[in-house]
Structure formats: C-alpha cells, structure tokens
C-alpha cells in the first residue's frame, strides 16, 4: 500500500480590489477597463513580480496573489494603499 506524502508550504495570499469600480464602470465602462488594465500592466503586476509574488487569478477588478514569504504581502501593496480616490491609478 502506497502512502501519499503531504507536502506543506508556508505562503501568504493577498486579495486586491478596486474601490468604486462598479461606479467607474457605470460612468465609463471602456475608460474604466482601459485604466484598470493600464494600472495592472504598469504598476500592479511589476510590483507583484518585484516581491516574488504570483498572480493566481484575476476576477474583474479583483486580483488574488500568492507570496512564498509570509512577510511580503505587508510591503508589496504599499504603492496602492495611498491611491484611494479618483480614477484607477490616480495619485492623491
């Protein structure tokens, strides 16, 4: 009888969501989607890669990211926490 060996690993996950995305889509669907894609390509995806993260899944305006080191998610989203108003990626 074969016994399966369970391999465990410590990882951290981050879920990011765009605040006000439904409102932005209602106002300008094409513009909101273009801004979201531009933000992901120019800022979010490179920041995840810099911190050795892996984007697991994209869900509309949400993103699920895995980090191999449990301390990484606390520093990885720092560029995005400061931008809570205005268009996606807009600086305060």
- The pTM (predicted TM-score) of the whole model is 0.69
Q: Mean pLDDT, consecutive 10-residue segments, the chain of 92 residues?
A: 78 86 93 92 89 91 86 58 52 42
- The pLDDT score that the predictor gives to residue 23 is 93
Instruction: Name the 3-class secondary structure at 34.
Output: helix
- Cβ proximity of 66 and 13 under 8 Å: yes
- Residue ranges and CATH numbers for the domains of the chain are 12-81 (3.30.70.1230)
Contacts of 78 (CB under 8 A, 6+ apart): none
């Amino acid at each position: 009888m074969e016994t399966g060996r369970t391999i465990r690993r410590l990882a951290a996950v981050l879920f990011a969501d765009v605040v006000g995305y439904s409102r932005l889509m209602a106002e300008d669907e094409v513009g909101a989607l273009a801004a979201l894609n531009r933000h992901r390509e120019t800022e979010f995806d490179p920041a995840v890669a810099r911190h050795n993260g892996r984007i697991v899944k994209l869900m509309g305006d949400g993103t699920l990211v895995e980090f191999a080191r449990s301390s990484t998610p606390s520093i990885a989203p720092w560029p995005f926490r400061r931008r809570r108003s205005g268009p996606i990626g807009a600086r305060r």
